[in-house]
């Protein structure tokens, strides 16, 4: 392939500041930009940064309304969390959710985005339909998929039985650990893949058509075109899709809670955060676990940035 394609650092943004003297006329402070960003800034500071700071501080305090007073207890909350088998088991479950969810949703998103990359009849309708699972609340999806996985009256059992694949109804969720996690995570993959697809598709649509034309002229196979042009140039979009998948899977709550109750076979870390904070009213440990989830999200996202993200320039 003769087409030269390079992935390189973007040049620094051009300095668009006006020449000295022009903006300084009258030395009047233009407050419009500040006024415009104020609501958003307040929103982010009030609903994200302050609670985050509060969580970090309180994670090192014993905060139990049933057992006052609140007092500094160092790393005790973290020690308690790691000594609790239910918590460590849920950490293991969540790690599997993340691995399955991120890999599967990314692969499916790339496949679907490539399919949707070229114009064809009904493409717009297909994109509109594609987004539906993402728009549905997790609880609704849990209920819908519950009737599919149901071991007594479920659709899947009924279908498998009709086609003589099985001779008696199977228990998909609740008995076998891995099968339970897989069944639950497939539901989440069904939910998060549409957004991942749109993110990857947006990246693909930026790829200049002449690169594909050049590849065709050079006689590149479909796979070569995909692996040498599509995939490398879609990396920014794939990175964002993977990060959003990491955030979603690390925080999975609705699907395991609706489909498998509180059973250890599928309980996630965020479920445990809920139980600790609002069932046991042990807010200190709840803050500590939330902080761990945040750190895990940050670490996993940084790994993706390091190994997947590459800036591209056309």
Partner 1 sequence: MISKRNRLRNVALVAGAAALSVAATGCSGGGSSASSQTKDVTITVALFGAPPPQKSLDEFKKSTGITVKWSTIDWDSLQTKIAAASTSNTYFADATDVDWSRVGQEGKLGWFLPMEKYIDQKAYAADMPQLSSFTSNGHIVGVPFDASYLVTTVNKQMFAKAGITTMPKTIDEYTRDLQKVKASGVSPTPLNIPFNAAEGLSTYWYQTTQAFGGSILDEAGKPQFTSPDSPGYKAAQWMVDALKNGLVPAGNINVSDSQGQQTLMAKGVTASTFADYSGNVGSLYDVPASSSVTGKLQYIPTPGLSGTTANVSNPDGIGILKTAKYPEAAAKFIEWFTSAENQADFAGASGPDKVMPGYFLPSRLSGLTKLTSAKGLAGGQELTSMLKTSKPVFPAGAPVWYPQFSNAVYTNLHAAAAGSMSVDAAIKTIADTATKLAGQ
Contacts with partner 1, residue ranges (CB under 8 A): 31-32, 34-36, 38-39, 42-43, 46, 65-67, 86, 146, 150-154, 169, 171, 173-175, 259-265, 274-275, 277-281, 283
To the nearest whole angstrom, how small is the minimum distance from the Cβ of residue 29 to partner 1? 12
Distances (CA, A) of 27 to 19, 24, 30, 33, 238: 14, 5, 9, 16, 46
To the nearest whole angstrom, how small is the minimum distance from the Cβ of residue 241 to partner 1? 30
Residue 36 or 99: the one with the smaller Cβ distance to partner 1 is 36
To the nearest whole angstrom, how small is the minimum distance from the Cβ of residue 296 to partner 1? 23
To the nearest whole angstrom, how small is the minimum distance from the Cβ of residue 225 to partner 1? 46
Residue 173 or 240: the one with the smaller Cβ distance to partner 1 is 173
d(CA 247, CA 243): 6
Residue 269 or 300: the one with the smaller Cβ distance to partner 1 is 269
Handedness of CA 91, 93, 97, 100 (dihedral sign): positive
Helices 177-204, 235-250: axis angle to 10 degrees equals: 150
Residue 241 or 285: the one with the smaller Cβ distance to partner 1 is 285
To the nearest whole angstrom, how small is the minimum distance from the Cβ of residue 3 to partner 1? 47
Residue 175 or 206: the one with the smaller Cβ distance to partner 1 is 175
Q: Provide long-range contacts, Cβ within 8 A and 24+ apart, for 210-217.
A: 211/3, 211/5, 211/314, 214/1, 214/2, 214/3, 215/1, 215/3
């Amino acid at each position: 392939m003769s087409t030269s394609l390079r992935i390189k650092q973007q040049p620094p943004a051009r300095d668009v500041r006006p020449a000295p003297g022009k903006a300084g006329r009258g030395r009047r402070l233009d407050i419009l930009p500040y006024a415009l960003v104020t609501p958003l800034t307040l929103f982010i500071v009030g609903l994200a940064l302050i609670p985050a700071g509060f969580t970090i501080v309180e994670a090192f305090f014993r905060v139990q309304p049933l057992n006052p007073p609140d007092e500094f207890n160092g790393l005790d909350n973290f020690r308690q969390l790691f000594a609790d088998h239910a918590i460590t088991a849920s950490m293991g479950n969540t790690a599997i959710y993340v691995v399955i969810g991120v890999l599967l949703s990314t692969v499916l998103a790339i496949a679907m985005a490539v399919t949707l990359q070229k114009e064809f009849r009904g493409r717009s309708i297909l994109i509109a339909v594609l987004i539906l699972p993402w728009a549905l609340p997790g609880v609704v999806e849990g209920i819908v998929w519950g009737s599919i996985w149901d071991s007594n009256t479920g659709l899947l059992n009924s279908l498998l039985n009709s086609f003589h694949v099985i001779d008696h109804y199977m228990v998909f969720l609740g008995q076998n650990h891995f099968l339970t996690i897989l069944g639950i995570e497939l539901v989440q993959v069904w939910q998060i893949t549409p957004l991942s697809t749109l993110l990857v598709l947006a990246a693909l649509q930026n790829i200049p058509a002449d690169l594909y034309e050049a590849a065709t002229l050079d006689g590149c196979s479909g796979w070569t075109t995909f692996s040498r042009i599509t995939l490398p140039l879609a990396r920014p979009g794939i990175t964002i899709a993977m990060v959003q998948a990491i955030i979603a899977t690390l925080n999975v709550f609705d699907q395991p809670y609706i489909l498998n109750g509180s059973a250890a076979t599928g309980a996630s870390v965020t479920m445990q955060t809920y139980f600790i904070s609002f069932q046991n009213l042990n807010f200190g440990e709840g803050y500590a676990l939330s902080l761990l989830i945040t750190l895990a999200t940050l670490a996993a996202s940084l790994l993706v940035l390091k190994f997947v993200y590459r800036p591209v320039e056309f």
